RNA sequence: GCUUCUUUAGCUCAGUUGGUUAGAGCAUCUGACUGUUAAUCAGAGGGUCCCAGGUUCGAGCCCUGGAAGGAGCGCCA
């Protein structure tokens, strides 16, 4: 007989049927009730053992963390905690787990802090919280592919090793095969990268956008979904050195189309999780409610996790320009009471405190800010009629901040050349990018979604290190 | 990189003004019980009080330096 997954046992199997389940023991109560989890669902199956009829030496090994195979009949449960349970006919311990050692891991049957779980990232998959988080992470990933596929987008694989940092999006990781102790030198005494593997200096990608634009200007609508690397010394709950990013790019779209796409996309993902991850979501929802109870009133969320997701799904995002946002901030209480640490002035980039005020206090919903001053945004963003602002957009989410950054791209070759000069970007390094503006250039737009930030939003996790299996942060690349 | 907080048993944490043998809950072990729901009951074991130095008759507690982790900020997604 083949094993039946626990998700299937609980949702589809008929009472009275004989089956085999395999999984890991979560708890063994009174030598009679064994809670088994196989990862297919957050729910456990309860296996009931008439211990009098079984070998004591086998039952002794059925401890928390051990793996077991159990066969028996599915019956209605006499207890109130579950609808069905398995009356065990045979039980086999597949892999033992020494309780004295289990005690030193996160697998002991008790609550742990997220910080402690992070130290055992290889074992935290076995916990309810991380099981839920990573099943949902998968579902978000799948929903993204499904959405784009249904909308006629093509999934484009952009390179991880690239030769240019033209976008200037943060610090980069260099990739080299040269001997660091004894690198070949040029006549001037600099490292001679022409002798390196690729014959030039290369780095890990910080964005697949420029490459995605090339494909969009042929395939019409494409998206990337891959790892991204930033060598910034960022020590926050919202930054990773290695993270995943989704970057759709659509020919013929303007900024408004771009905003419509972003909003529809984010609502689709949110709704997909509400529809397809009910058990995991409900566990995380309860978990958050319990956690909130130990916090002071002012630090608590006004809405529960599920309510926040429903809110995003059901309400329009607030759209306003950067210029309007500055005016709103200048009329705000914290501005008048001089509570903001950073200045609010047209031309200066908004700080987290300003974004948080707009999202969490003023509008209390996701906000899309558009038309930023050209100086504070990237060179490829399309210049507006006023000559001062560009067709950029940032989507701000409560508790997370910037979750999406995008723009309509500059499709006019002459303007793009001027912008390169303004930003000190050597045009010749980007000859392949400039070429698309020579041959049938069209307006187009796209955005980048921080995947882990989206997973944070739908799981309610407040530290980005808890939504990626193996986080890479400054001074930390364990596992 | 900056600011700030934390570090005491396997985990979460308490530890009064610097004063006898450093405590609790959970976990682990032993036994009891056996339709439990983080099972329950009784008992036991378990400590480099983060590290190094200093002050003091005496330091978990005070001082100096360091390390690790959290939160916030900057950079950004």
Query: What is the tens place of the pLDDT at every residue in A229-255?
Result: 998 888 889 999 999 999 999 999 999
Predicted confidence (pLDDT) at residue A168 exceeds the cutoff of 60: no
Nearest partner of A246 among A30, A465, A48, A452, judged by Cα = A452
Instruction: Please list the residue range(s) of chain A that carry CATH number 2.40.50.140.
Output: 6-104
Contacting residues for A97 by C-beta, under 8 A, at least 6 apart: A25, A63, A64, A65, A66, A67, A107
**What is the band of A170 on the pLDDT scale with cuts at 50, 70, 90?**
low
Alpha-carbon gap, residue A325 to A321, rounded angstroms: 6
A169 CB inside 7 Å of strand B:
yes
User: Which pLDDT score, from 0 to 100, does residue A341 have?
Assistant: 86
Predicted confidence (pLDDT) at residue A166 exceeds the cutoff of 70: no
Prediction ipTM score: 0.88
Instruction: Output the distance from A406 CA to B39 C1' rounded to whole Å.
Output: 54
- Supply angle C-alpha A179, A181, A184, rounded to 5: 60
C-alpha A389, offset from chain centre: 30
Q: What share of chain A is helix, strand, coil (3-state, %, to 5)?
A: 35, 25, 40
**What is the band of A369 on the pLDDT scale with cuts at 50, 70, 90?**
very high
Mean pLDDT over A98-126 rounds to 88
User: Which pLDDT score, from 0 to 100, does residue A301 have?
Assistant: 81
Instruction: Please list the residue range(s) of chain A that carry CATH number 3.30.930.10.
Output: 128-171+206-466
**Residue A307 CB coordination number (10 Å):** 12
User: Which pLDDT score, from 0 to 100, does residue A167 have?
Assistant: 56
Instruction: Output the distance from A275 CA to B67 C1' rounded to whole Å.
Output: 47
Instruction: Output the distance from A139 CA to B11 C1' rounded to whole Å.
Output: 31
C-alpha A37, offset from chain centre: 25
Longest dimension (CA), chain A: 86
Chain position carrying tokens 């942060």: A473
Q: CB–CB of A389/A416 below 8 Å? A: no
Burial classification of residue A426, based on how many CB atoms lie within 10 Å of its CB (0-12 exposed, 13-18 middle, 19 or more buried): exposed
The domain made up of A6-104 has a fold known as: OB fold (Dihydrolipoamide Acetyltransferase, E2P) (2.40.50)
- The pLDDT tens digits of the residues spanning A260-279 come to 999 999 999 999 999 999 99
Q: Say which CATH class A128-171+206-466 falls into.
A: alpha beta
User: Which pLDDT score, from 0 to 100, does residue A34 have?
Assistant: 94
Which protein residue lies nearest to nucleotide B69, measured between its Cα and the C1' atom?
A: A115
Instruction: Output the distance from A27 CA to B27 C1' rounded to whole Å.
Output: 12
- Token reading at A222: 């494409």
pTM: 0.94
- Supply angle C-alpha A139, A141, A145, rounded to 5: 110
**Residue A231 CB coordination number (10 Å):** 15
A102 CB inside 7 Å of strand B:
yes
């Amino acid at each position: 007989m083949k094993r039946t997954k626990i998700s299937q046992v609980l949702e589809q199997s008929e009472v009275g049927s004989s089956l085999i389940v395999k999984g890991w023991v979560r708890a063994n109560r009174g030598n009679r009730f064994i809670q088994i989890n196989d990862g297919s669902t957050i729910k456990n199956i309860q296996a009931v053992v008439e211990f009098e009829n079984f070998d004591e030496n086998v039952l002794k090994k059925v401890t928390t963390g051990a793996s077991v195979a159990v066969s028996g009949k599915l019956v209605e449960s006499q207890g109130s905690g579950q609808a069905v349970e398995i009356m065990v006919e045979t039980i086999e311990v597949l892999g033992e787990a020494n309780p004295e050692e289990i005690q030193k891991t996160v697998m002991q049957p008790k609550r742990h802090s997220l910080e402690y779980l992070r130290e055992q990232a290889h074992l935290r998959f076995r916990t309810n919280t991380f099981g839920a988080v990573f099943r949902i992470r998968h579902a978000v990933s799948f929903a993204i592919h499904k959405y784009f596929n249904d909308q006629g987008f093509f999934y484009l694989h952009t390179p991880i090793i690239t030769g240019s940092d033209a976008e200037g999006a943060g610090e980069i990781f260099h990739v080299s095969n040269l001997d660091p102790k004894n690198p070949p030198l040029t006549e001037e005494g600099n490292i001679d990268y022409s002798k390196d593997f690729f014959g030039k200096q290369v780095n890990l990608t910080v964005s697949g956008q420029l490459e995605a634009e090339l494909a969009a200007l042929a395939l019409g609508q494409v998206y990337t979904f891959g790892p991204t690397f930033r060598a910034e010394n960022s020590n926050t709950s919202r930054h990773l050195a290695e993270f995943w990013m989704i970057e759709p790019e659509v020919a013929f779209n303007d900024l408004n189309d771009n905003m419509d796409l972003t909003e529809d996309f984010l609502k689709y993902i949110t709704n997909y999780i509400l529809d397809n991850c009910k058990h995991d979501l409900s566990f995380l929802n309860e978990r958050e409610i319990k956690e909130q109870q130990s916090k002071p009133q002012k630090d608590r969320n006004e809405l529960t996790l599920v309510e926040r997701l429903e809110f995003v799904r059901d309400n329009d995002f607030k759209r306003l320009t950067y210029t309007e946002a500055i005016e709103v901030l200048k009329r705000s209480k914290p501005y008048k009471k001089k509570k903001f640490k950073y200045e609010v002035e047209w031309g200066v980039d908004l700080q987290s405190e300003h974004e948080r005020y707009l999202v969490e206090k003023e509008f209390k919903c996701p906000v899309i800010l558009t038309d930023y001053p050209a100086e504070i945004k990237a060179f490829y963003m399309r210049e507006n009629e006023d000559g001062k602002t560009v067709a950029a957009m940032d989507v701000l989410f409560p508790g997370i901040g910037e979750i999406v950054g995008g723009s309509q791209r500059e499709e006019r070759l002459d303007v793009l050349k001027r912008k390169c000069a303004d930003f000190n970007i050597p045009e010749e390094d980007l000859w392949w990018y400039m070429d698309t503006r020579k041959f049938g250039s069209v307006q187009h737009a796209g955005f980048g979604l921080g995947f882990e930030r989206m997973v944070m939003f739908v799981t309610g996790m407040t530290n980005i290190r808890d939504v990626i299996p193996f986080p890479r942060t400054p001074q930390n690349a364990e596992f």
